[in-house]
Amino acid sequence: MTILVEVSPELEASLTAEAALHGMDLQKYAGKLLEERRTIYAARSGTLTREEFHAMLRELAEGSEALPKLPTSAFSRESIYEEHL
């Protein structure tokens, strides 16, 4: 689907720069922004489709592959709640 949106030259320049930072062209980046906004709106209304839920999980996990892998034994109730003991 194609949507034509009129924006100011300043907004276009800003969005183009953001798109480049994400390695995307402006059209794909604008579509991604709309999809993210839809997911946020759906979450507020308490209704997510399966696709929106999976998109939200993918977004949450984005960049997590760089995190160190820790065994579950590295976590304990005490280490999580140590300030409250």
In this structure, the dihedral spanned by the alpha carbons of residues 19, 64, 56 and 53, taken in order and rounded to 10 degrees, is 150
- The residue type of 34 is L
- Residue whose C-alpha is closest to residue 36's, from 12, 17, 60: 60
In a domain, 70, yes or no: no
Span 33-47, mean pLDDT? 76
In a domain, 21, yes or no: yes
In a domain, 4, yes or no: no
Instruction: Please give the tally of structural domains in the chain.
Output: 1
In a domain, 85, yes or no: no
Q: What is the pTM of this model?
A: 0.48
Residue 47's pLDDT band (boundaries 50, 70, 90)? Answer: confident
pLDDT at residue 43 in the model:
64
In a domain, 44, yes or no: yes
Q: Which domain holds residue 39?
A: 9-62
